[in-house]
Amino acid sequence: MPVIAVVDYEMGNLHSVCKGLEKAGATPNVTYSPKELEQADAIVLPGVGAFDPAVQHLRARGLEQPIKEAIASGKPFLGICLGLQILFESSAEGIQPGLGIIKGKVRRFRPEADITIPHMGWNQLEMTQTKSILWEHLPSDPWVYFVHSYYVDPIEEQIRAATVTHGTQTVTAAIVHENLMAVQFHPEKSSNIGLQILSNFVAQVREKIPA
* Rounded (10°) angle between helices 51-60 and 64-72: 90
Tally of domains in the chain: 1
156 SS3 class: coil
pLDDT (tens, 9 = 90+) of the chain, 211 residues, equals 899 999 999 887 899 999 999 999 999 999 999 999 999 999 999 999 999 999 999 999 999 999 999 999 999 999 999 999 999 999 999 999 999 999 999 999 999 988 999 999 999 999 999 889 999 999 999 999 999 999 999 999 999 999 999 999 999 999 999 999 999 999 999 999 999 999 999 999 998 887 6
> Contact, 70 vs 179, CB < 8 A?
no
From the list 52, 58, 53, the residue with the least C-alpha distance to 32 is: 58
**Domain assignment of residue 124, given as a range:** 3-208
Q: What is the 3-state secondary structure (H, E, C) of 28-41?
A: EEEECCHHHHHHCC
What's the CATH code of the domain at 172? 3.40.50.880
Q: Which residues contact 90 (CB under 8 A, 6 or more apart)?
A: 97, 98, 105, 106
70 SS3 class: helix
211 SS3 class: coil
Q: Which residues contact 200 (CB under 8 A, 6 or more apart)?
A: 133, 134, 135, 136, 137
Active-site positions read 81, 186, 188
Question: pTM of the full predicted structure?
Answer: 0.96
